[in-house]
Structure 1
Amino acid sequence: MHHPDPDRSGGDAARHAAGMTVRRSVLGSAHVDRAEANTTPFTEPFQDLITRYAWAEIWTRPGLDRQTRRCMVLTALTALGHWEELAMHVRAALRDGTPPEVLQEVFLQAAIYCGVPAANRAFALTQGILSEFGLATTSDPDTGEG
């Protein structure tokens, strides 16, 4: 799916607005509203930076579709052990209609390229989130093992 490019010539305000549109689409308005409500004068420059660059400049590029970008993010977060961010993006993926089977494939691929312990943690974390969404299987969410 191709998403419109932000107005790259329109300056920071246009990129920020375009980024907020994509950020809300990917993460959900509830998450973005919480992040915005928790923004302080100290964190505001960082929030603006990620909104303009991550969400407007990168997530809107035409070279990859949103699903591919999402899978890359999930893999990178697994590789780096950023579990809170991984949980946030898994929830966002499920809310956006990504089937659990796609998440399963991402983490199987991650097991080979990122390591089995990282993938094991990603599977366990995601199994717990699948339970939250009513998509649980008989696996133990604490270990990822059936």
Structure 2
Amino acid sequence: MSGPELDGPRRNGVVQPGATSQEIYDGGMKVRREVLGAAHVDRANASKDSFTEDFQDMITRIAWGGIWTRPGISRQMRSAVTITAMVAHGHWEELAMHIRAAITNGLSRDEIKEILLQTAIYCGVPSANTAFKTAQQVFHSMDNEAMETAEMDDES
């Protein structure tokens, strides 16, 4: 497969020939913060210790630096694929995090609903049932956060 978006120096995102491990890490951390939010990433980094530090480094470099920086598909498409994978494998906490990320990446609630309907067919109705409940809880939480922020803005 080729084309202007897959040829040339941007083909591999931040994983370019000669890229240092630090450059890949920094590129991954930038995308990770943009997609998941700085507060989430800061919490993950604050809770790392000598046991989890290598894992956090690995996901920043490989998942976020190596994959999420690639230009071949949009962040919306990456979110759709990730949501489907979380449903297929029953990773509900990760699903909640990636539903929030999908909103950040520009997917609408209706688009997320359609993705979850698709998962009912290919991942199973029981998994989709849990996924819908998870999404409903995420949206409820997001709505509450928005109302609290609006109330605080009104008070100031």
Question: TM-score range with shorter-chain normalisation?
Answer: 0.7 to 0.9
- Give the whole-Å Cα distance in 2 for the aligned partners of 1:111 and 1:36: 34
1:33-72 alignment runs, 5 A limit = 33-72=42-81
> Alignment identity in percent?
50
Question: What do residues 64-122 of structure 1 show as CA deviations (whole Å, max 9, x unaligned)?
Answer: 11100000000000000000100111122234442100110110110010001100110
- In structure 1, the gaps of 5 or more residues are 136-146
Q: Is the 8 A contact 2:15 2:65 kept in 1?
A: no
How does the TM-score come out when normalised to structure 2? 0.80
- Give the whole-Å Cα distance in 2 for the aligned partners of 1:97 and 1:7: 25
Q: Is the 8 A contact 2:79 2:101 kept in 1?
A: no
Q: Give how far 1:35 is off.
A: 0.4
Q: Give how far 1:61 is off.
A: 1.3
| Deviates most, 124-133 or 32-41 | 124-133
Q: Give how far 1:32 is off.
A: 0.2
1:8-27 alignment runs, 5 A limit = 8=16, 9-27=18-36
Runs of 4+ in 1 over 4 A off after TM superposition: none
> Which of 111, 120, 133 is residue 111 of structure 1 equivalent to?
120
- In structure 2, the gaps of 5 or more residues are 145-156
Alignment-derived partner of residue 124 in structure 1: 133
Q: Give how far 1:7 is off.
A: 5.0
Question: What do residues 44-78 of structure 1 show as CA deviations (whole Å, max 9, x unaligned)?
Answer: 11111110010011011121111000000000000
Report the structure number with the largest CA radius of gyration.
2
Q: Is the 8 A contact 2:35 2:105 kept in 1?
A: yes
TM-align CA RMSD: 1.6
| Deviates most, 4-13 or 119-128 | 4-13
- Give the whole-Å Cα distance in 2 for the aligned partners of 1:54 and 1:45: 13
